[in-house]
Amino acid sequence: MNDKQETIGYVNKIIPFSNVDGEGNRMAIFLQGCNYNCLYCHNPETINRCVNCGECVPVCEYEALSMVDGKVQYDIDKCVNCDACIATCKKNSSPKITKITASELMKKIEKVKFFISGITVSGGECTLQRDFLKELFTKVKSLGLTTFIDTNGSTPIYMDKELLEVTDKTMIDLKAFHPEENKILTGLTNETVIKNIRELGKLDKIYEIRTVVVPEVLNNNYTVDMGSKLLAEINPNIQYKLIKYRPMGVRKELLETTVPTNDYMKELESIARANGCINTIIV
């Protein structure tokens, strides 16, 4: 397959070395576009594709943005990452998107392959770019590196045998256990999330499940109670990560929300452990 036949991936950001995106030292690749619209989204500029309205172009003082034939052009070499463009965008998007094929991205991965154990592709919601993901993972596996998907779990990954063949592990958000609460929080119910957790857990394809704890907004006790019971039933060794809500980068609606106390996080951890999740951690 040559470059012309390859799928174009829309990449928001690449972090060459990360030790918080799965096992070991990993390259973290964030794809643009998400089907959730979480109340507490920490990077809302990853939600939508740019519609080329051009409003952010004059905001850039460094001439990194321009309009050519009605489309925003981004010059990464001139960009100083001040994010003034992102602050201007009213469409939950970013002009700083790189369109890239798996072969092109592999050139960046090959440069650091001796320093990483694998790559983690996140988002946005990376599984919305499933073909690009599969092409990239197929190539990455040939280097002997591991491949992780960081996902909101809303697409039926468990049914995608081709993708799973080249995916080592998934990291799945369990944002709320009750489907209606999940809908209020994200815009979608969570039946597919639960099915993914159940089926991918049976296939030993889960590295961790994560729940963000937001006091006064979510029924955290219910989600942790039900979620940990589900995990314990599938495999008590699956890592269950309880994440303290922090109001960095979120939209104004939630800025005033209380940050959970350490005592409350420990109370939730105790619930999960009592339910049999022996690998529960707080971050």
Our CB check for ligand SF4 shows the closer of 45 and 125 to be 45
* The only residue of 19, 81, 142, 221 in contact with ligand SF4, by rule CB under 6 A: 81
Phi and psi at residue 11, in whole multiples of 5°? -110, 125
Please state the closest distance from residue 57 (CB atom) to ligand SF4, in A. 7
- Cβ neighbours for 194, distance < 8 A, ≥ 6 positions apart: 177, 230
Q: Counting contacts by CB under 6 A, is residue 47 touching ligand SF4?
A: no
Please state the closest distance from residue 128 (CB atom) to ligand SF4, in A. 18
* The only residue of 27, 31, 50, 218 in contact with ligand SF4, by rule CB under 6 A: 50
Our CB check for ligand SF4 shows the closer of 13 and 139 to be 13
* The only residue of 11, 47, 72, 193 in contact with ligand SF4, by rule CB under 6 A: 72
Q: Counting contacts by CB under 6 A, is residue 85 touching ligand SF4?
A: yes
Q: Counting contacts by CB under 6 A, is residue 34 touching ligand SF4?
A: no
- CA-based nearest residue to 208, from 114, 277, 132: 277
Q: Counting contacts by CB under 6 A, is residue 273 touching ligand SF4?
A: no
AA letter at 278: I
- CA-based nearest residue to 141, from 171, 163, 160: 163
- CA-based nearest residue to 14, from 82, 74, 76, 57: 76
Our CB check for ligand SF4 shows the closer of 93 and 155 to be 93
Please state the closest distance from residue 253 (CB atom) to ligand SF4, in A. 20
Please state the closest distance from residue 75 (CB atom) to ligand SF4, in A. 8
* The only residue of 11, 38, 41, 60 in contact with ligand SF4, by rule CB under 6 A: 60
- Cα(225)–Cα(165) distance, rounded to whole angstroms? 32
Binding string, residues 151-190; x marks residues near ligand SF4 by CB under 6 A: ----------------------------------------
Q: Counting contacts by CB under 6 A, is residue 80 touching ligand SF4?
A: yes
CB neighbours of residue 35 within 10 Å = 16
**Distance in Å from the first CA to the final CA of the chain:** 42
Q: Compute how many residues bind ligand SF4; rule: CB under 6 A.
A: 27
Q: Is the peptide bond before 124 cis (omega within 30 degrees of 0)?
A: yes
Q: Counting contacts by CB under 6 A, is residue 56 touching ligand SF4?
A: yes
Directed axis angle between helix 220-234 and helix 191-202, to 10°?
Answer: 30
Please state the closest distance from residue 44 (CB atom) to ligand SF4, in A. 11
- Cα(119)–Cα(116) distance, rounded to whole angstroms? 8
- Cα(148)–Cα(132) distance, rounded to whole angstroms? 14
Listed ranges 74-82, 98-106, 170-178, 217-225: which one lies at the site for ligand SF4 (CB under 6 A): 74-82
Listed ranges 24-32, 52-60, 122-130, 161-169: which one lies at the site for ligand SF4 (CB under 6 A): 52-60
How many helices (H) and strands (E) are present in the chain, helices listed first? 8, 11
